[in-house]
Chain A
């Protein structure tokens, strides 16, 4: 299956820790990547591979995976982290579907 499933919305209190999850069969074979998208902007890569952050992404962002589930964790969420987050992974057909996205609200 090439489908990736995410919770539509998650909220977190300012400064607290939040985990955003993504589930799919392809994650048993391929690591996911995570993208942050703010309104009116292009997506930005925040996590790739086992737990790699591109230059410029704060170290409060981290990734983990187990079985068919991958997670993006924000430790000490900031107001500027409020955004939509998408997971993405290759599937067995060579396609790269996205999850449906999770809207993160920082309270």
Chain B
């Protein structure tokens, strides 16, 4: 069964760090991209970061650039999101999602086809 399971969430004080994990099963994580997407309480989806399978290229939303770092360990079929200098506005449910890309009719397209249920992060003193 293809699935992603997040872990590592919790309550943390502002300015502290937290590392989230995303374990894949049923497929080889290293053959796909992996996104982190978060959702603050009562708000919409916010894309956070992605790591691609080609060259392990990484990209970050402006709101987390310089504070968050995405990585993966293919031997463990697991991806991570290291979150430093946490702020109250980072409070959210964090989902990981499998990323794919393709080319059709002259245009590229990207999508996230497998999602984890999420792990909750609360930043509060």
Q: Chain A residues in contact with chain B, CB under 8 A?
A: 29-33, 35, 37, 42-45, 48-50, 54, 84, 86, 88-90, 93-101
Within the complex, which residue of B45, B102, B118 is in contact with A98, where a contact is CB–CB below 8 Å?
B45
- What are 11 contact pairs spanning A and B, CB under 8 A? A30-B109, A31-B104, A32-B109, A33-B109, A43-B115, A50-B105, A50-B107, A86-B45, A88-B111, A94-B50, A101-B44
Query: Residue-by-residue, is B1-45 near A (CB-CB < 8 Å gives 1, otherwise 0)?
Result: 000000000000000000000000000000000010100000011
CA–CA, A83 and B104, complex, Å: 29
Give the tally of cross-chain contacts (CB within 8 A): 82
| B113/A98 in contact, CB under 8 A | no
Given contacts A35-B45, A98-B44, 8 further A-B contacts (CB under 8 A): A31-B104, A43-B115, A45-B113, A49-B109, A86-B45, A94-B57, A96-B59, A98-B37
| A43/B47 in contact, CB under 8 A | no
Decide yes or no: A95 and B44 within 8 Å by CB, A31-B104, A31-B109 being known contacts: no
Taking CB atoms and an 8 Å cut-off, the chain B residues in 87-114 that contact chain A are 95, 97, 99, 102, 104-105, 107-113
| B46/A90 in contact, CB under 8 A | no
Q: How large is the interface on B (under 10, 10 to 19, 20 to 34, 35 or more residues)?
A: 20 to 34
Residues of A within 8 A of B61 (CB): 95, 97
CB proximity of A86 to chain B, nearest CB, Å: 5
Q: Chain B residues in contact with chain A, CB under 8 A?
A: 35, 37, 44-47, 50, 57, 59-61, 95, 97, 99, 102, 104-105, 107-113, 115-118
Within the complex, which residue of A37, A42, A90 is in contact with B108, where a contact is CB–CB below 8 Å?
A90
Residues of A within 8 A of B107 (CB): 29-31, 50
| A33/B110 in contact, CB under 8 A | yes
CB proximity of B41 to chain A, nearest CB, Å: 12
Decide yes or no: A98 and B112 within 8 Å by CB, A49-B104, A93-B59 being known contacts: no
